[in-house]
Amino acid sequence: MKVISENRCFGGVQGVYAHESDATACEMTFGLFLPEEAREGPVPLLWYLSGLTCTHENAMVKAGAQGWAAEQGIALVFPDTSPRGEGVADHDDFDMGQGAGFYVNATEAPWAPHFRMWDYVAEDLPDLLARDFALDMERQAITGHSMGGHGALTLAMTYPERYRSVSAFAPICNPTRGDWGRKQLSAYLGEDEAAWRAHDASLLMAEKGFAGPVLVDQGGDDQFLDLLKPETLFEAAARRRQEGSFRIQKGYDHSYFFVSTFMEEHLGFHAEALYA
């Protein structure tokens, strides 16, 4: 693992690191904020998964999360959204290829050799974090924005024993039925739509739900509402009587101004679950 940078931040340290990933077969970069309490021993961990076109850096510098995480004594990890580099497949469209891994394990050419972001977030990066940093991996939670909200919800419902809570900002809720989803799932996973179901938050909510609390915030003036399809997730949660809050925030769009506005509430929500 290479240290790219480490900066003092709210009494803790905001680091950026690179490592060779077995999952993606290339070098990956991630950000990790450790609060001051990590000097004394392991601290709980909140995952933040970013959206289309983002790297590890977007939320790290725009979401305003570190101050609230420091207040709660929680570490934050910011993974990248896809494999990158020479020899890694890419696409001319912004919503495919590098920057658009969709948190799945690709099975189709030319994506399969590197686009294994599900394994990267679920196995590879957690193993590195547990080995090299002062983190309590028995206390994890997960959140994300847009494509990252999709990843957070699907990972949480697949591994409910791992994450104590899950939240999302404007997640892609029903990718098997939307233009942000069908294009990518067919390219990465092939034309058999049965293979897509494991990566659809609305379908997973209907089938299994989540064992802990859920918080979802959606901007009411989000320019991508028709692509995100929040109503499908909200309706599935209501039918399931899922524990949680599913909120439309009037006047807010899809930007990091929206994310940063509600970040304090999301950090407090996760802190309550992580310290229960």
Whether residue 91 lies in the annotated active site: no
Q: Please tell me the predicted confidence (pLDDT) of residue 116.
A: 98
Is the backbone peptide bond immediately before 44 cis, with ω within 30 degrees of 0? no
Percent of the chain with pLDDT over 90: 100
Mean pLDDT of 93-111: 98
> Quick one: pLDDT band at residue 146, thresholds 50, 70, 90?
very high
Which position among 114, 254, 266, 270 bears the catalytic label?
254
Percent of the chain with pLDDT over 70: 100
Name the CA radius of gyration of the chain, rounded.
17
List the domains of the chain with CATH numbers.
Answer: 2-274 (3.40.50.1820)
DSSP string across the chain: -EEEEEEEETTEEEEEEEEEETTTTEEEEEEEEE-GGGGTS-EEEEEEE--TT--SHHHHHHS-HHHHHHHHT-EEEEE-SS--STT----SSTTSSTT--TT-B--STTTTTT-BHHHIIIIIHHHHHHHHS-EEEEEEEEEEBTHHHHHHHHHHHH-TTTEEEEEEES----GGGSHHHHHHHHHHH-S-GGGGGGG-HHHHHHHT--SS-EEEEEETT-TTHHHH-HHHHHHHHHHHT-SEEEEEETT--SSHHHHHHHHHHHHHHHHHHHT-
Residues 12 and 38: beta-carbon distance below 8 Å: yes
pLDDT tens digits, one per residue of 242-274: 999 999 999 999 999 999 999 999 999 999 999
> Quick one: pLDDT band at residue 57, thresholds 50, 70, 90?
very high
Residue 192 to residue 88: CA distance in whole angstroms: 24
Mean pLDDT of 57-72: 98
> Quick one: pLDDT band at residue 112, thresholds 50, 70, 90?
very high
Q: Please tell me the predicted confidence (pLDDT) of residue 120.
A: 98
Which position among 50, 199, 222, 270 bears the catalytic label?
222
Q: Please tell me the predicted confidence (pLDDT) of residue 69.
A: 98
> Quick one: pLDDT band at residue 156, thresholds 50, 70, 90?
very high
pTM exceeding 0.75: yes
Mean pLDDT of 68-96: 97
Whether residue 254 lies in the annotated active site: yes
Whether residue 270 lies in the annotated active site: no
Q: What is the mean pLDDT of the chain?
A: 98
Angle at 262 (CA atoms; ends 260, 267), nearest 5 degrees = 95
> Quick one: pLDDT band at residue 88, thresholds 50, 70, 90?
very high
Which position among 146, 165, 167, 202 bears the catalytic label?
146
- Tokens 């290829």 correspond to 97
Mean pLDDT of 117-137: 98
Residues 117 and 100: beta-carbon distance below 8 Å: no
